[in-house]
Amino acid sequence: MSNIIFGPIPSRRFGISLGVDLSPDTKQCNFDCLYCELKPAKTIDKMTSYPSVDEVLEAIQNSFAKHPKIDVITITANGEPTLYPKLDELITKINEIKNDTKTLILSNGSTIYKQEIFDALLKFDMVKLSLDCVSQKCFKKLDRIHANIDIEKIVEAMIEFRKATTNDFVLEILFVKDLNDKDEEIELLYEAVKKINPHRVDIGTIDRPPAYDVKPVSFETLESIAKRFENINVNIVYKNRPKQINSYTKEEILSMLERRPLTLEDIDNMFDENSKKELEKLIEMSKISIVDSAGLNFYKIC
């Protein structure tokens, strides 16, 4: 079996992260997304090659012994980690040994309507799930899903999950040019996101060579989508984001934040020094506060 562990690596958001790959030998996924950074592969609905729970635990404990300061254990896979047949047992046992370290799982969200997966996900400190499309047509085309995966059931289960979890729940949407960046799909996504009500939504686009011939959307497209997602904590994830520094009055800052909470990165990319001072004054006046959303700070109207 190839390496189960990658890292520890510094992560801007979580400190030191230890990655755990539940499918280290080969890609095993129930999607074959057009934008996947792994090679195209036939979809599957069950992992057939995977490390045992004991092997994973031993690998984590060895890493703890070598690097005592790990902030987060990130469960991933060359593919989809929730297809690991013993996910519940694994997270239960990790929770017994992890002490203060947080646990995070990165999943495509497709199995959340299965009760055993729903229950296992509740045991993670942070859950980050993908939701690229809400119409079944777009979902099939972009994520090239395994047979019988129904997007309606996934969205319903995400709504229930948000109600049930006391931990951090983040949605991730990856936009691909001429696929899910169309008006009607963005509207469906916004309606679904409002109902799901996650702590945060990360929106981004392709930034590594994709499996198929698809193109990223521009930063401006992501920005206009973020503006449409009114009152949602949207974090734009974009490599080499262009700076668009401007000067804003207090009123302009308030009206901007009324539409959409901004991250520190947004502020650094948009605000000149004077505007930052105005922002500080608004914080002192308790008109704006800084709110933590699943590990990321947002400036919001009080």
**Maximal CA-CA distance, the chain:** 59
Which residues on neighbouring strands pair with residue 28, listed in sequence order? 79
Q: Which of 38, 44, 254, 301 binds ligand SF4 (CB under 6 A)?
A: 38
Q: Which of 33, 47, 53, 296 binds ligand SF4 (CB under 6 A)?
A: 33
Q: Using CA atoms, how far apart are residues 272 and 245, in angstroms rounded to an integer? A: 6
The string over 112-143, giving b where at least 16 C-beta atoms fall within 10 Å of a residue's C-beta and e elsewhere, is bbeeebbebbebbbbbbbbbbbbeeebbeebb
Q: Which of 31, 248, 271, 299 binds ligand SF4 (CB under 6 A)?
A: 31
Query: Residue holding tokens 């009114």?
Result: 230
- Using CB under 6 A as the binding rule, whether residue 32 contacts ligand SF4 is answered as yes
Q: Which region among 16-24, 28-36, 60-68, 188-196 touches ligand SF4 (by CB under 6 A)?
A: 28-36
- State how far Cα 292 lies from the chain centre: 16
Q: In sequence order, what DSSP letters do the residues of 170-186 get, joined into one string? A: EEEEEEBTTTTTSHHHH
- Using CB under 6 A as the binding rule, whether residue 74 contacts ligand SF4 is answered as no
- Cβ–Cβ < 8 Å for 185, 151: no
Q: Using CA atoms, how far apart are residues 11 and 21, in angstroms rounded to an integer? A: 17
Q: Shortest Cβ distance from residue 79 to ligand SF4 (Å)?
A: 5
Q: Using CA atoms, how far apart are residues 266 and 110, in angstroms rounded to an integer? A: 31
Q: Shortest Cβ distance from residue 71 to ligand SF4 (Å)?
A: 24
Q: Which region among 32-40, 158-166, 188-196, 291-299 touches ligand SF4 (by CB under 6 A)?
A: 32-40
Q: Shortest Cβ distance from residue 174 to ligand SF4 (Å)?
A: 8
- Cβ–Cβ < 8 Å for 99, 64: no
Q: Which is nearer to ligand SF4, 22 or 29 (CB)?
A: 29
- Using CB under 6 A as the binding rule, whether residue 81 contacts ligand SF4 is answered as no
Q: Which region among 29-37, 94-102, 190-198, 251-259 touches ligand SF4 (by CB under 6 A)?
A: 29-37
- Using CB under 6 A as the binding rule, whether residue 132 contacts ligand SF4 is answered as no
CB atoms within 10 A of CB 265: 16
- Using CB under 6 A as the binding rule, whether residue 29 contacts ligand SF4 is answered as yes
Q: Which is nearer to ligand SF4, 21 or 80 (CB)?
A: 80
- Using CB under 6 A as the binding rule, whether residue 108 contacts ligand SF4 is answered as yes
Residue 31, burial from CB neighbour count under 10 angstroms (0-12, 13-18, 19+): buried
Q: Shortest Cβ distance from residue 21 to ligand SF4 (Å)?
A: 11
Sheet holding 15-21, edge to edge: 5-11, 15-21, 72-76, 102-107, 126-130, 168-175, 200-205, 234-236
Q: Which is nearer to ligand SF4, 80 or 223 (CB)?
A: 80
Q: Which is nearer to ligand SF4, 35 or 161 (CB)?
A: 35
- Using CB under 6 A as the binding rule, whether residue 176 contacts ligand SF4 is answered as no
Kindly list the residues in this chain that would bind ligand SF4 in the complex (CB under 6 A): 29, 31-33, 36, 38, 79-80, 108
